[in-house]
Chains A and B, each alone.
Chain A
Amino acid sequence: MTLLKPVAVVTGASSGIGAALARVFAANGHDVAVVGRRQPLLNALADDIAASGKARPLVIPMDLTRVDSPVRIGHELGAHGLEPAYIVNNAGYGLVGRAAELDRSAQLAMIDLNVRALTDLSLRFIDSLARHRGGILNVASVAAFLPGPGMALYHATKSYVVSFSEALHTELAPQGIHVTALCPGPVPTEFQERAGLDATKLPRLLTRSADWVAQQGYDGLMRNRRVVVPGWSNKLLSFVVRTAPRRILLGATDRAMQGRAAPPPRWPKRRELD
Chain B
Amino acid sequence: MTARPVVLITGASSGIGAALARLFATHRYELALVALPEPRLEALADEIAAAAGARPTTLPFDLTERDVGRRIAERLVALGAEPEFVVNCAGFGLVGAAAELDQTEQLAMVDLNVRALTDLSLRFVDSIERHRGGLLNVASVSAFLPGPGMAVYNATKTFVLSFSEALHRELAPGVRVTTLCSGPVPTRFQTRAGIRATLPRVLACSPEFVAQEAFAGLMAGKRLVVPGVGNKILCHLLPLIPRAVLLPGKFWAMRFSTQPPARRTLIFSRRA
Contact = CB atoms under 8 A, between A and B. Distances in A.
Given A156-B166, A160-B114, A170-B248, A100 B99 contact: no
A215 interface: no
Given A104-B123, A116-B115, A119-B110, A170 B166 contact: no
Contacts of A77: none
Contact of A152 (B170, B240, B243): B170
A135 interface: no
B163 interface: yes
A188 to B, nearest CB: 24
Nearest to B101: A123
A51 to B, nearest CB: 38
A178 interface: no
A72 interface: no
Contacts, number: 169
Contact of A167 (B98, B103, B118, B270): B98
A131 B251 CA distance: 23
Interface string A160-182: 11111111111110110000000
A148 B162 CA distance: 7
Contacts of B146: 162-167, 170
Interface residues of A, number: 58
Given A98-B170, A115-B159, A104 B122 contact: yes
B88 interface: no
Contacts of A100: 122, 125, 167, 170-171
Interface in B28-66: 66
Interface of B: 66, 97-99, 103, 106-107, 110-111, 114-115, 118-119, 121-123, 125, 129, 145-152, 154-156, 158-163, 165-171, 174, 223-224, 239-240, 243-244, 247-248, 250-251, 270-271
